[in-house]
Structure 1
């Protein structure tokens, strides 16, 4: 069946299923990261760490918590709005939540790398590696797909957003 022949109901069902599958991938990673970050505060090394490490850790935990909230919100929306004819709202909000959640996850990952590098290397090298990590995530997850989308759109390809 071509996209033109696909009914609106089927398109929304497919989009919702694809969104939920994508969320499953991201949720597992962010939940493991969140657990790891929570455990750091209970180590002996943490009690003697610098204020920079403590602040970086707190910001990173908060980013991971925001990512968990945003990446699990679409499942909650789906459950609350299940069978109420609001699938389009769930897909639209879920897509927004997912993109924001991925942004917080990228920041949490960069913060985690920064924490590790600060303990191992200290100083500006750790900050540089953390910043490069954030740039790599932003490039792979947001910039490159947008460039591909924009290039494909200019070539006349039929691209539909979720």
Structure 2
């Protein structure tokens, strides 16, 4: 004997609730990604504008080969970070209405993470470039390395540690830990 009409209706209602919750979740995650990129975009655009202006200063021609190479790499990293952090907006505009929000959230989340890595490298390279001009070489490189380690600690090590700690405290919430945008 199969399920009663009441049981079938209840199961259908649960499926509908799950679809709605999934839809709400993807909308929330998309909103979070857009908010996060607004913060990161502003910083990377200001930094990138500063980097572009450096080449037009009188002292730029006095830079040695190492500093010029660091500058070029920093500009490339800044451009790549800008592209990655603005990409979610372009994806949304070009694919709006295509019923691809789940895919957009996944790809945009990855672009934001990649953009943040590129932004950390851009900032660290900028620090290296500036400190290399005003401090002895080795000290500038050590301090710039410290900046990279700081970003790695704040943006990677700390979130991984918090996620693992939460998983140990709340093993039943394992599915919630995948909610990364």
TM-score range, shorter chain: over 0.9
Where 1:83 maps in the other structure, the secondary structure is coil
| Mapping for residues 1-162 of structure 1, pairs under 5 Å | 7-156=21-170, 157=173, 158-159=176-177, 160-162=179-181
User: What residue ranges of structure 2 are gaps of 5+ in the alignment?
Assistant: 1-16
Gaps of 5+ in 1: none
Q: Distance in 2 between matches of 1:42 and 1:161?
A: 41
CA-CA distance at 1:80 after TM superposition:
1.1
Are the aligned partners of 2:70 and 2:129 in contact in 1 as well (CA < 8 Å)?
yes
CA drift at 1:122: 3.0
Q: In angstroms, what is the RMSD of aligned CA positions?
A: 1.3
What TM-score do the two structures reach when normalised by structure 1?
0.94
CA distance in 1, matches of 2:143, 2:107: 33
Does the 8 Å CA contact 2:109/2:180 hold for their aligned counterparts?
Answer: no
- State the alpha-carbon separation in 2 of the partners of residues 150 and 68 from structure 1: 31
Tell me, in whole angstroms, the C-alpha distance in 1 between the residues paired with 2:114 and 2:164: 20
Flag the structure with higher helix content: 2
* Structure 1 segments of 4+ aligned residues over 6 angstroms from their partners: none
TM-score by length of 2: 0.84
Give the secondary structure class of the aligned counterpart of 1:7.
helix
What is the aligned residue count? 159
Taking the aligned partners of 2:63 and 2:136, their CA distance within structure 1 comes to 11
